[in-house]
A = this chain, B = another copy of it.
Amino acid sequence: MEQNNGLLIVLSGPSGAGKGTICRELLKEMPQVKYSVSATTREPRPGEVDGLHYYFRKKEEFQDMIEKEELLEWAEFCGNYYGTPRFAVEQAIQAGNDVLLEIEIQGALQVKKVYPQGVFVFIVPPSLDELSQRIHNRGTETKEAIEKRLQTAVKEMEYIKEYDYVVVNDEIPIAVEKLKSILTAEKCRVSRKTFVFQGV
């Protein structure tokens, strides 16, 4: 009666919101959700497997992918390219799997331009006080660095309006439940259905 492709779920939000933890929990609980594997030009580290941890590509190959619009998004960090190959995402989706992409805000906005049918979820910390506490607790950053990250987080909150959903990460299990509900609900959306009423 109904045919469903998988969904692309894009998780994004200010750093310190807890995206990574939510992602891991969601993948644990929903085996039909696949994590999107990135392409990169950086060297593989010991134990890293091509196609599993990253798609390792030469710089020219990566630039070729950019030109041919084979990436949903890409960016350069420390002289290396990182990006999300369109083919892997589309393959999984057409096979009926959902694909999870955890990505910073600028990358998510790039994806939205070329793949607006994705489900864009903004994860936020319950408050700036809480975010400040979380960064403090890591104990890895200077007071100035923390202050700068908080200012960035405040600015980044403005991007909420570009997203479909916002999930406040107050307690991980609740946030994960909300994400699962969002997935279930999106699969019921009329706009996503190829609907054939059998038996007529």
> Hey, which bits of chain A sit against chain B, CB under 8 A?
1-2, 121-122, 124, 126-132, 154, 157, 160-161, 163-168, 177-178, 180-182, 184-186, 188-190, 193, 195, 197-200
Contacts and interface: CB of A to CB of B under 8 A. Distances in A.
Residue of A127, A128, A163, A184 most packed against chain B (CB within 10 A): A184
A10 to B, nearest CB: 13
Contact of A195 (B131, B160, B188, B198): B160
A176 to B, nearest CB: 12
20 contacts: A1-B126, A121-B188, A122-B190, A124-B197, A127-B198, A127-B199, A128-B198, A128-B199, A131-B199, A154-B200, A160-B193, A160-B195, A163-B190, A165-B185, A165-B189, A177-B184, A180-B181, A181-B184, A182-B184, A184-B185
